Amino acid sequence: MIQLFADAPAGRPKPAAYLLAAYAAWFPAASVFICVVDPGVGSARRGLIAEADGRLYVGPDNGLFELVLRRAARASCWEIGWRPTALSASFHGRDLFAPVAGRLARGEMPAAMASRALPRGYPDWPDDLPEIVYIDHYGNALTGLRGQCLPATARLAAGGHSIAHADTFAAVPPGDTFWYVNSNGLVEIAVNAGRADRMLGLAVASPIEILA
Amino acid sequence: MIQLFADAPAGRPKPAAYLLAAYAAWFPAASVFICVVDPGVGSARRGLIAEADGRLYVGPDNGLFELVLRRAARASCWEIGWRPTALSASFHGRDLFAPVAGRLARGEMPAAMASRALPRGYPDWPDDLPEIVYIDHYGNALTGLRGQCLPATARLAAGGHSIAHADTFAAVPPGDTFWYVNSNGLVEIAVNAGRADRMLGLAVASPIEILA
Amino acid sequence: MIQLFADAPAGRPKPAAYLLAAYAAWFPAASVFICVVDPGVGSARRGLIAEADGRLYVGPDNGLFELVLRRAARASCWEIGWRPTALSASFHGRDLFAPVAGRLARGEMPAAMASRALPRGYPDWPDDLPEIVYIDHYGNALTGLRGQCLPATARLAAGGHSIAHADTFAAVPPGDTFWYVNSNGLVEIAVNAGRADRMLGLAVASPIEILA
């Protein structure tokens, strides 16, 4: 059991979806992900099991799985029909998704607790998102852009600054801002020995512009 | 092993006691809880083992177990007499309570390391506490009131606001404040897609008034 | 597996080195520590395995192990030559140090993945560091001074205050500042029922003066 994020973008499935797609790609087939960014909990929104390239995802039908499904060579989706004896109105992560994920991790088939369904689609979401999707513990600002989108010669505009590429932190002087392709393949804006979020005024959903 | 709270109310056994009683109720008999909200560590305050409805609790004699004991159908209490070879003056959670909890979890009897005793009593603490006892990661403000105290028609006054009930976040517009019975049975004050602590100026120990 | 610090001093190997030496001393021989305070990741800095009094350490050659090595009765050091198939430029903790630590924990010898080498030396770092090396969750300010450096009659100057010794929190009135030897043997500055960092304006690297 690994806790990938203790602080995924609160109440924001869209940035979380780009983050999930980038991070899940490093896990082996048959990994099960419980994904809980769930502002609609307790409403009529459905619960889903998604299978994408052999990995399994459990969570709300709110776009969280849009990018893992879109990028997968093989994908299937089920609506969770099973219900626990006690289902709170505000914590389906604990009451519904965790038991379903546990059963999947033990080898049960999705069809034992869910029926085939199409997820809600988000066709207007781009393949790569030119926005900040996460601020990490150090103040680095992750974007929803995969590194393959950008040549190393590209500059980014964010928070009123124009930002050039560097390979890693130690390649620029302390205090300098740069962008690089992080260890999960996402374009990330950082400051050597500093906090990019504070220096550039960045937060989740802040827009990024590619200057070419 | 589960870490129930990494950030229980610092140095405040009273709100922590209401939080513990609400959360522990979901655990099976024979669960062992190490409870460390211990501002008196290193003073003459005693260390206790409490048994309440089959669950075991280890921690300081400062009121932390007042509510689990008061609400239990069957309860016993022991003062810990065992001492480790090295006992620091400031971290009995590590040096004293953790080894005792480990021995209990392996099946040893309380009497092997402790002798029967009455805990210090806090008769002036109410059965339900009309105060904020915890602010969670999202800024939701948990009270020490159990949901069964309040009809859904009740309004709460907190931070100068009058707050109505809703079933869950998605039942009110973004930015609206409401109270609901959370997934552990406590009355919680929240803002849909916002932070109740900042919007209402709430912190641990802030008083709540029930308006009828 | 234990996570000793989720928030070691960001990008600062020097205070982290004093913290590591104090905390590691409590672990049994054959313990393996992955140490990742690594501002030079991706540069030419080397990766090391250090063995000190039977404990094993894996991390960058940037001073992190200076104090554990200096204080050890027996010490050896190796430069990591092994490389993973995929090595990111910015997260050697995951790609390089974690797999090496895993192999050591399974009983492989350092020589299987590394060759004997001398670590970079930091002879100008003192044996005990009169600076704040860590602010904990409660706002207590840990110094790089071991308790044995100071008689209980000593006063410390920090943040413009003169601070006397007490044995533990409960020995002083709420709101009072004191220093004590914490449960890991380091001199720590604290406020009973308050935050020393805010009351005294302390942060990692703030200097401490011993007033005698």
With 0-12 CB in 10 A as exposed, 13-18 as middle and 19+ as buried, what is B41? buried
State whether C90 and A193 contact (CB < 8 Å). no
Distance from the first to the final alpha carbon of chain A: 41
The chain C residue lying nearest B12, using CA atoms, is: C193
Please state the rounded mean pLDDT for residues B56-69.
Answer: 98
In a mutational test of the B interface, the residue from C3, C168, C197 whose CB has the highest number of chain B CBs within 10 Å is: C168
In this predicted model, what pLDDT tens digit does every residue of C159-190 receive, in sequence order? 899 999 999 999 999 999 999 999 999 999 99
- Chain B: nearest CA to C200, how far in angstroms? 19
Quickly count: other Cβ atoms within 10 Å of residue C181's Cβ: 22
Is pLDDT larger for residue B54 or for residue A6? Answer: B54
Please report which helix (H) or strand (E) contains residue B104, including its range: helix B98-105
Measure Cα distances from C71 to C20, C21, C57 in Å.
12, 8, 14
The answer to whether A143 contacts chain C (CB < 8 Å) is no
d(C-alpha B86, C-alpha A64), whole Å: 50
DSSP B132-196: EEEE-TT--EEEEEEGGGS-TT--EEETTEEE-B-SSGGGS-TT-EEEEE-TTSEEEEEETTB-H
How many Å separate Cα B6 from the centre of its chain?
12
Amino acid A105: pLDDT = 97
The answer to whether B95 contacts chain C (CB < 8 Å) is yes
Amino acid B6: pLDDT = 87
Amino acid C80: pLDDT = 98
Please state the rounded mean pLDDT for residues B156-162.
Answer: 94
Quickly count: other Cβ atoms within 10 Å of residue B134's Cβ: 22
Rg (Cα) of chain A, in Å, rounded?
18
Sequence length of chain A is 212
- Chain C: nearest CA to A183, how far in angstroms? 5
Q: What share of chain B is helix, strand, coil (3-state, %, to 5)?
A: 20, 30, 50
Using an 8 Å Cβ cutoff, are B90 and C169 in contact? yes
Using an 8 Å Cβ cutoff, are B163 and B157 in contact? yes
The token duo for A6 is: 């203790």
User: Where does the pLDDT of residue B25 fall: very low under 50, low under 70, confident under 90, or very high at 90 and above?
Assistant: very high
Please state the rounded mean pLDDT for residues B46-62.
Answer: 98
The answer to whether B138 contacts chain A (CB < 8 Å) is yes
User: Which chain C positions have a beta carbon within 8 Å of A170's beta carbon?
Assistant: 39-43, 45
Residue A47: pLDDT over 90 = yes
The pLDDT > 90 percentage for chain A reads 98
User: Where does the pLDDT of residue C212 fall: very low under 50, low under 70, confident under 90, or very high at 90 and above?
Assistant: confident
Please state the rounded mean pLDDT for residues C177-206.
Answer: 96
Size of interface A-C (CB pairs under 8 A): 38
In this predicted model, what pLDDT tens digit does every residue of C14-59 receive, in sequence order? 999 999 999 999 999 999 999 999 999 999 999 999 999 999 999 9
Residue A212: pLDDT over 80 = no
Using an 8 Å Cβ cutoff, are A78 and A65 in contact? no
- Chain C: nearest CA to A97, how far in angstroms? 26
In this predicted model, what pLDDT tens digit does every residue of B83-94 receive, in sequence order? 999 999 999 999
The answer to whether C169 contacts chain B (CB < 8 Å) is yes
The pLDDT > 70 percentage for chain B reads 100
The answer to whether C46 contacts chain A (CB < 8 Å) is no
State whether C7 and A169 contact (CB < 8 Å). no
d(C-alpha C140, C-alpha B41), whole Å: 15
In this predicted model, what pLDDT tens digit does every residue of A132-176 receive, in sequence order? 999 999 999 999 999 999 999 999 999 899 999 999 999 999 999
State whether C10 and A138 contact (CB < 8 Å). yes
State whether C7 and A137 contact (CB < 8 Å). yes
Average pLDDT over chain A, rounded to an integer? 96
Q: What is the dihedral angle through the alpha carbons of C57, C58, C63, C64, rounded to the nearest 10 degrees?
A: -60
Spatial neighbors of C108 by CB under 8 A, at least 6 apart, are: none
State whether A167 and C11 contact (CB < 8 Å). no
Spatial neighbors of B126 by CB under 8 A, at least 6 apart, are: none
The token duo for B162 is: 């009058």
Using an 8 Å Cβ cutoff, are B58 and B48 in contact? yes
User: Where does the pLDDT of residue B139 fall: very low under 50, low under 70, confident under 90, or very high at 90 and above?
Assistant: very high
The token duo for A45 is: 């929104």
Pairing relationship of beta strands A32-34 and A55-60 according to DSSP bridges: parallel
In this predicted model, what pLDDT tens digit does every residue of A190-202 receive, in sequence order? 999 999 999 999 9
State whether B182 and A10 contact (CB < 8 Å). no
Using an 8 Å Cβ cutoff, are B174 and B121 in contact? no
Amino acid at B113: M
SS3 C99: helix
Overall pTM > 0.90: yes
User: Where does the pLDDT of residue B212 fall: very low under 50, low under 70, confident under 90, or very high at 90 and above?
Assistant: confident
User: Where does the pLDDT of residue B110 fall: very low under 50, low under 70, confident under 90, or very high at 90 and above?
Assistant: very high
A119 phi and psi, to 5 degrees? -70, 160
Please state the rounded mean pLDDT for residues B57-86.
Answer: 97
Look-up of token digits 């669960």: B31
